[in-house]
Structure 1
Amino acid sequence: MNPNEILRIVDALHRDKKIDSEIVFRAIEAAMASAVRRQRGDEAEIEVSIDRHSGEISATVNGEPLDPDVFGRIGAQTAKQVIIQKIREAERDALIEEYQQLIGEIVTGTVHRVDTGKTIVNLGNVEAILPRSEQIPGDPYHVGSRIRAVVVEVRADGSRVKVVLSRTRPQLVQRLFEQEIPEIAEGTIQIRAVAREPGYRSKVAVSSDDPRVDCVGACVGVRGNRIKNIVHELAGER
């Protein structure tokens, strides 16, 4: 791999995947050193350096310069492996950042698979887990059915992203009220407290600084249409 190609790859990863150039340089150096070590033995002392401006590669094995021809043969394949790894890491980190911002918020997905102890939910760009402990008792889950839940945990799980959902937390009730009742979304009515027994009942305390506002009437809606939508989403909780 020639120096210009290395610089081009580093620049492309920096621009397209927003990966810091120094991270890519160090990763390529470490991967190349590892490849040489596999050839020369674990006891070999390997040092690899890439000039940040010219892209020139230099390496030593036990203090002696490495034959450029030998190094060139492993360079291209090693760089390719690093590129693939860094792209996967960048995509994983982007998903983690995206869903960490959604912790406590409602997301909508479709049931992908129902396993013992958990339900797998497809959110479009990631598969999330809805553990049995976070499911409303008696709430049926069928493959392909639509589901709404709040994000409660997001973390890296090896090369993948683990997103955990819940339908039992009080935040789900609060977010549903915010979505269904404009006065709450606008701040005219405030939610003061939420108490919940998932699958059985929920109690929401609301108030307003405006004495002219009928808080209960606004939450119930005309003919109960607003509260009916929430009760339906909560599998009949009242």
Structure 2
Amino acid sequence: MDRAEFIEALHLIEKEKGIDKEIIFEAIEASLVSACKKNFGSNQNIKVVIDRETGNVACYAQREVVEEVMDEQNEIDLMAARILNPSYQIGDTVDLEVTPRDFGRVAAQTAKQVVVQKFREAEREILYNQYITKEREVVTAIVQRKERRNIIVQMGKIDAVLAANEQIPGEQYNFMDRIKVYVLEVKQTPKGPQIYVSRTHPELVKRLFEQEVPEVHDGTVEIKSIAREAGSRTKIAVYSKDENVDALGACVGQNGYRVNVIVNELGGEKIDVINWSEDPKEFIAAALSPSKVLAVAINEAEQSAKIVVPDHQLSLAIGKEGQNARLSAKLTGWRIDIKSETQARETNFLAEDPVEETEDAAEEMTEIMEESAEAVETAAEETAVEETQEEA
């Protein structure tokens, strides 16, 4: 390739690849400085200049103009400098051309290496810029292979890593399976972008609701908090900014269609959708769904809550291995202690809270217990009616 073709190729690279040709020129010049120093000594100040129009390459030894030369490799006296150009003054820099005879061949080889390197850097930068926008988003990936305990998935032009601790417990990943993943991080590395994804992150559930529920996508329904134990159960608290829109109904969908799409995407993981409330008592009671709550006493100073549930629903409220209570606590941000109605009455459970020891608080607790008793009686009556209807 002659010089004219080289310049034309740089223009084409700039246009098609978006790589500024000036960056390539500067990189080639910097590389050629090293080549020059091999000939003239590494202590010399060397400058390489490529003519941007013709492609001609020149190598210069730079000398500082001084009154008395102490370093012959880097200095020149004023008289010698003025022979070259009468306008030189003390402190100026003189460029003496020292271009080696075979420097054109060296320059061509260096230029090729630099262009290839810049191509790779540009490709990496383009890929990085393309995928950094997907960080904290949900994308569809295709399972490629297993590397030790990690799963490698394909995201468009690049592979991503689904680490062992980001995989849903018990979930099987087969070649060419299409799965939704949450993009945790996109890192730029010398080998190109490195992407890490997750199937266990709570935000995956949130993003899936945004994709599946138009009211969540447009902001009418807001997801206030999420508590998740991947592969088993998720609780999600929702709130409608429009009083005419039922947040829970919008998320569940007709006959549960919308939430079931997400459940299926997560391999059958159970999802409880509840209404968020700014009243902590209401919110905590809703969070313990599907169990019914008879009474809630809160201690704001300790961010703790005491819950009373019907005797027959204590195990339901706590959940298998404490999961329901654990997720409810995580969802609400309150520490939760649950007792059955019988246990609460026998231990004076609600009145034990030190914050509730004032006269007003004691009256309030009495009212709560009375309301609890009424609620239990009502529940018993409803159960009796239902049993009668079933018998009929």
Name the CA distance, whole Å, in 1 between partners of 2:97 and 2:16.
37
Q: 2:107 aligns with which of 61, 64, 75?
A: 75
**2:67 alignment counterpart:** none
8 A contact 1:88–1:159 mirrored in 2: no
Q: Are 2:12 and 1:12 equivalent residues in the alignment? A: yes
**2:301 alignment counterpart:** none
8 A contact 1:51–1:57 mirrored in 2: yes
Q: CA RMSD in A?
A: 2.2
8 A contact 2:58–2:97 mirrored in 1: no
**Amino acid of the structure 2 residue aligned with 1:101:** T
**Amino acid of the structure 1 residue aligned with 2:99:** L
Q: Are 2:59 and 1:59 equivalent residues in the alignment? A: yes
**1:140 alignment counterpart:** 172
In 2 relative to 1, CA 6–117 (structure 1 residues): closer, same or farther, beyond 3 Å?
A: same
3-state SS, counterpart of residue 203 of structure 1:
strand
**Amino acid of the structure 2 residue aligned with 1:198:** A
8 A contact 1:89–1:159 mirrored in 2: no
User: Highest relative contact order (Cα 8 Å, sep 6+), 1 or 2?
Assistant: 1
Name the CA distance, whole Å, in 2 between partners of 1:202 and 1:32.
61
**2:33 alignment counterpart:** 33
8 A contact 2:141–2:155 mirrored in 1: yes
**Amino acid of the structure 2 residue aligned with 1:229:** V
Name the CA distance, whole Å, in 2 between partners of 1:16 and 1:138.
47
In 2 relative to 1, CA 213–91 (structure 1 residues): closer, same or farther, beyond 3 Å?
A: same
Name the CA distance, whole Å, in 1 between partners of 2:253 and 2:161.
34
- 1:159-201: per-residue Cα shift (whole Å, max 9, x none)? 3220111111121111100111111112221111122111221
**Corresponding residue pairs, total:** 236
8 A contact 1:111–1:144 mirrored in 2: yes
**1:108 alignment counterpart:** 140
In 2 relative to 1, CA 42–156 (structure 1 residues): closer, same or farther, beyond 3 Å?
A: farther
8 A contact 2:36–2:59 mirrored in 1: no
3-state SS, counterpart of residue 77 of structure 1:
helix
TM-score (norm 2): 0.56
Name the CA distance, whole Å, in 1 between partners of 2:34 and 2:182.
43
8 A contact 2:160–2:196 mirrored in 1: yes
Name the CA distance, whole Å, in 1 between partners of 2:35 and 2:253.
68
3-state SS, counterpart of residue 171 of structure 2:
coil
- 1:101-144: per-residue Cα shift (whole Å, max 9, x none)? 11111111211111212111111200111111111111111111
8 A contact 1:110–1:121 mirrored in 2: yes
The aligned runs of 1:65-214 (5 Å cut-off) are 65-67=98-100, 69-214=101-246
**Amino acid of the structure 1 residue aligned with 2:155:** L
Name the CA distance, whole Å, in 2 between partners of 1:122 and 1:53.
44
- 1:28-59: per-residue Cα shift (whole Å, max 9, x none)? 1123334555x649847453221334432111
Unaligned runs of 5+ in 2: 62-72, 74-95, 271-392
In 2 relative to 1, CA 163–41 (structure 1 residues): closer, same or farther, beyond 3 Å?
A: farther
In 2 relative to 1, CA 35–133 (structure 1 residues): closer, same or farther, beyond 3 Å?
A: farther
Q: Which moved more, 1:124-133 or 1:7-16?
A: 7-16
3-state SS, counterpart of residue 102 of structure 1:
coil
**Amino acid of the structure 2 residue aligned with 1:24:** I
**1:229 alignment counterpart:** 261
Larger Rg: 2
**Amino acid of the structure 1 residue aligned with 2:25:** F
- Structure 1 residue 81: Cα displacement: 1.7
8 A contact 1:35–1:78 mirrored in 2: no
**2:49 alignment counterpart:** 49
Name the CA distance, whole Å, in 1 between partners of 2:36 and 2:178.
51
3-state SS, counterpart of residue 102 of structure 2:
helix
**Amino acid of the structure 2 residue aligned with 1:13:** I
8 A contact 2:32–2:48 mirrored in 1: yes
**Amino acid of the structure 1 residue aligned with 2:218:** E
Name the CA distance, whole Å, in 1 between partners of 2:171 and 2:235.
19
TM-score (norm 1): 0.89
- Structure 1 residue 60: Cα displacement: 4.0
Name the CA distance, whole Å, in 2 between partners of 1:81 and 1:153.
32
Q: Alignment identity in percent?
A: 44
